[in-house]
Amino acid sequence: MVGTLILWGCIIWMVPLMYVLLRNEAKWKKNIVVGATLPYEARQDPEVEEVLRRYRRQLGWSCLAMLALVVPCLFIPRFSVQFIVWSFWIILAMILPQIPFVLTNKALRRIKEERGWHKRSSARTVSDLTAAAIPMKWLSPWWFLPPLALSLVPLALDRELWALWLVDAALVVLCYAGYRWLFRLRAEVVDENTELTVALTRLRRYNWGKTWLWIAWATGFFNLGLCLTLEWFWGAMAVTLVYGVVVVVAAIGIEFRVRRAQERLTADSGKEFYVDEDDCWIWGMFYYNPYDKRLIVNNRTGVNTTFNMARRGAQIFMGAMALILLAMPLVGVWLMHEEAIPVELTVTETAVVARHSGTEYEVPLADIESAELLTERPESSRVAGTAMESVSKGRYKNDEWGRFTCCLDPRTEPWLLLRTTEGEIWLFGDSDSAATQAAYAAVEAAR
Amino acid sequence: MLLKLDFDSEIPIYQQIRNQIVMGIAAGRLAPGERLPATRALAEDLGVNTMTVSKAYQQLRQEGYVASDRRTGVVVRQREGEPSPVPKETVEGLRLRLCELRLAGLGRAEILRLCEKLCDEEAG
């Protein structure tokens, strides 16, 4: 049940988060509401107001439905089936709350057409020369060096897992790369007011850097925290949880601060000339502009960026992402297969062999110092490997033995504990009790 | 000043950039000494190739509307002293437009009125 709760706990927060973000789209920012650009007069239009009310209602219900769906899922008995349901739930949670957005965007565009507010603009682009002339003051890479140094500290504390610490440190470097290259240097033109454009542009640029710097620092501390708590499962889990919360809260906090500022700054915009790029945004959410040579474009509101779907690179990337998402349930199918295969323990002329699926462990008989049959397994935690109802394999650890290797069926006692002359500890157990006992007898006979 | 590009237009993009900057200078929306975006920055902003902007700036430089140096970048040039001679291409272009207006059925007085109206609009 703990595994199930962790599994769902990792993703369930996605729904309230999407609700808050999507609900915020119903507020006017840069003359845009739910992905549709409308003039100032539309803000008091009763039909527009009604469409927005309906949007908020539909959004609330769809998010509530997704949350309610989790309750019966918690009681699914097998982990592999649970995982398949979990994967489908993620896909559904990403699509369902977006449906009210798309429907509302279409309704607003229809109203726009009917009222004569629509400006054909797919082939047009607008640039404010004064705002475009403001150079971007990129944060120096030095700002990212302290978190990088922090993330490298574990290398000095635990050399055994150096690869893990290097990967984590690489994340800090990726933060700088993301800051530097995932941003489109484009002025935020809303109307002819250059001062407003400059203010909006500076707002986005400043907060873009702030977001990545926050994530870089959080990653540095996470690396260090993980290193200090790695021996203690719940400690490591808590550090991971805190890291996730800090990153999400910081990113969302900055996103909302920018959105609020955009809302405030453009409260009076849209009375005369205003920029309308709706024709470049499919359903108000996917940017598709074949005239735009850039791959990365800034989101219309907030601080984030997105892809220009008219570019081949964006199509390949988004296609790959969709494929990965759709392939997730296949992992569950693989888990079902893993669960169904029994653990086998055999003794050959020279070694004790434990097998499960594609994994095989071999302990030479000549190296075995002692063999013992256990009817109770000491409480252990996984370092790296698999922990399922029908199989535990890989590296584990406990207070009594320290780190050891195991390959056993946790449901079937007894288990065979082997200690080698080199001080290694192995814990094996066949899915059939008789086979484990026979293996023990064979080891004893051979010694 | 806002630069508006129409990608469906038959006028090349670099020409549209050049034309609008010229119109901006004439109307006073771009003051002498005002700095224009760097080539790469404007290309990034408009989502066009750097070469396109570079070509527009090069033409503006050749025509004397802007000047550039390494320190200040591209700036609108101060128009000093006597009016500079009108380039031959401009006179020919004007002649062509006059012919088009005549063929459209406008008389001399109407053409002059239209020119005056446009001059007034450009003067702000």
DSSP string computed for A139-159: PPGGGGHHHHHHHHHHHHH-S
A132–B41 C-beta distance less than 8 A: yes
* Contacting residues of A for B5, CB less than 8 Å apart: 124-127
Residue with the two structure tokens 């199918």:
A333
Taking a contact as any Cβ pair under 8 Å apart, which residues of chain B between 4 and 63 contact chain A? 4-9, 21, 24, 30, 34-38, 41-42, 44-49
Question: Which among A125, A133, A189 has CB closest to B36?
Answer: A133
| pLDDT at residue B82, rounded to an integer | 67
Structure confidence by residue, pLDDT tens digits, A64-84: 999 999 998 888 888 888 889
User: CA of A135, closest CA in chain B: separation in Å?
Assistant: 8
Structure confidence by residue, pLDDT tens digits, A287-346: 999 999 999 999 999 999 999 999 999 999 999 999 999 998 898 888 888 888 999 999
- A237: pLDDT confidence band, cut at 50, 70 and 90? confident
Q: Are B1 and B36 in contact (CB under 8 A)?
A: no
B30–A128 C-beta distance less than 8 A: no
| pLDDT at residue A123, rounded to an integer | 64
A292–B47 C-beta distance less than 8 A: yes
DSSP A59-118: HHHHHHHHHHHHHHHTT--SHHHHHHHHHHHHHHHHHTTHHHHHHHHHHHHHHHHHHT--
| pLDDT at residue A120, rounded to an integer | 62
A189–B5 C-beta distance less than 8 A: no
* Contacting residues of B for A125, CB less than 8 Å apart: 4-5, 7, 46-47
A123–B8 C-beta distance less than 8 A: yes
DSSP tag of A250: H
DSSP chain B: -EEEEETTSSS-HHHHHHHHHHHHHHTTSS-TTPBPPPHHHHHHHHTS-HHHHHHHHHHHHHTTSEEEETTTEEEEPP--SSPPPPPHHHHHHHHHHHHHHHHTT--HHHHHHHHHHHHHHHT-
What percentage of chain B exceeds 70 in pLDDT? 95
Both tokens of A168, joined, read 């984590």
Spans of all domains in chain A: 1-118, 121-309, 344-446
B30–A294 C-beta distance less than 8 A: no
Q: Where are the beta strands (DSSP E) in A207-320?
A: 281-282, 286-287, 296-298, 305-307
Which candidate in A121, A129, A201 is best for mutational testing of the B interface (most B CBs within 10 A)?
A: A129
- How far is A219 from A60, CA to CA, in rounded Å? 33
**B67 at interface of A, judged by CB pairs closer than 8 A:** no
Phi, psi angle pair for A124, to nearest 5°: -115, 150
DSSP A288-305: --TT---SEEE-SSSS-E
**A120 at interface of B, judged by CB pairs closer than 8 A:** no
| pLDDT at residue A209, rounded to an integer | 95
B3–A124 C-beta distance less than 8 A: no
Which candidate in A127, A185, A188 is best for mutational testing of the B interface (most B CBs within 10 A)?
A: A127
B1–A129 C-beta distance less than 8 A: yes
- A122: pLDDT confidence band, cut at 50, 70 and 90? low
Residue with the two structure tokens 């323990």:
A345
**By CA distance, what is A131's nearest residue in B?**
B37
Which candidate in B9, B11, B23, B44 is best for mutational testing of the A interface (most A CBs within 10 A)?
A: B44
| pLDDT at residue B47, rounded to an integer | 92
Q: List Cβ neighbours of B25 (8 Å cut-off, separation of 6 or more).
A: B65, B76
Q: List Cβ neighbours of A414 (8 Å cut-off, separation of 6 or more).
A: A373, A374, A375, A429, A433, A436, A437, A440
What percentage of chain A exceeds 90 in pLDDT? 70
* Contacting residues of B for A192, CB less than 8 Å apart: 2
Which candidate in B1, B2, B66 is best for mutational testing of the A interface (most A CBs within 10 A)?
A: B2
Within a 10 A sphere around the Cβ of A189, how many other Cβ atoms?
Answer: 25
The overall average pLDDT reported for chain A is 91
ipTM metric:
0.79
Segment among A53-57, A177-181, B89-93 with least mean pLDDT: B89-93
CB burial of A105-144 (b: ≥16 within 10 Å; e: otherwise) equals bbbbbebbeeeebbbebbebbbbbbbbbbbeeeebeeebb
Q: Is A278 exposed, middle or buried (0-12, 13-18, 19+ CB in 10 A)?
A: buried
A132–B5 C-beta distance less than 8 A: no
B45–A187 C-beta distance less than 8 A: yes
| pLDDT at residue A144, rounded to an integer | 96
- A56: pLDDT confidence band, cut at 50, 70 and 90? very high
* Contacting residues of B for A186, CB less than 8 Å apart: 44-45, 47
**Average pLDDT for residues A9-31, to the nearest whole number?**
94
* Contacting residues of A for B11, CB less than 8 Å apart: none
DSSP B21-55: HHHHHHTTSS-TTPBPPPHHHHHHHHTS-HHHHHH
